[in-house]
Amino acid sequence: MDEIFEGGCFCGGVRYRMHGRPMFIHCCHCTDCQRQTGGAFAINALVEADRVELTQGEPVAVAMKTDSGFPHDIYRCSECQTALWSDYGRRKWMLFIRVSTLEKRAEFMPDVHIFTRSKLPWVQLPENANAFEVYYSTKEMWPATSLERREAARIRAGASR
Ligand SMILES: [Zn+2]
Ligand SMILES: [Zn+2]
């Protein structure tokens, strides 16, 4: 049985469960994340969409423009507008859960820090942190089990990417 992690929005209108631990965790210091969150960075847990179970409410997708040209949908509570997760590239089969919406957020340390070129200067990363000026190679950085999970989820969804 997978561990279950509970999460939800600020007002409590949306509640969800994440089944099992994420495949990989990003701490993103890009300027888009900074502006969209109003914070120094966003912490995103990458997880298969079918491991996220809504138990209350239904978040609504808000489309964001990106430099890559791929759509980026942020799913928010329709009442309090808390961002619960993102679907980068509108893949539908992989979600980027905003870690701070999980009750046990402290359990999920970032595996990588990305876009550190725009990291705020007063944010100090841990000495052994995996930090990347921009992005990183999934094949090189993800554990083998996570790569397998990712590929299995893509195939289950019948997706090409
Ligand atoms: Zn809410
Ligand atoms: Zn970002």
Q: What global pTM score does this model have? A: 0.95
Q: How confident is the model over 14-52, as pLDDT tens digits?
A: 999 999 999 999 999 999 999 999 999 999 999 999 999
Query: What residue numbers bound the domain in which 104 lies?
Result: 4-156
Asked if residue 123 is part of any domain, the answer here is yes
Output the CA 102–ligand 1 centroid distance in Å.
13
Cα(81) to ligand 1 centroid in Å equals: 6
Give the number of other CB atoms < 10 A from CB of residue 32.
16
Q: What is the pLDDT of residue 66?
A: 84
Tell me the sheet residues that pair with 63: 73
| Number of Cβ within a 10 Å radius of residue 107 | 11
CA 13 from centroid of its chain's CA atoms:
20
Asked whether residue 161 is assigned to any structural domain, the reply reads no
What ligand has the least distance to the C-alpha of 26? Answer: 2
132: Cα separation from own chain's centroid: 17
CATH code assigned at 124: 3.90.1590.10
Number of domains into which the chain is organized? 1
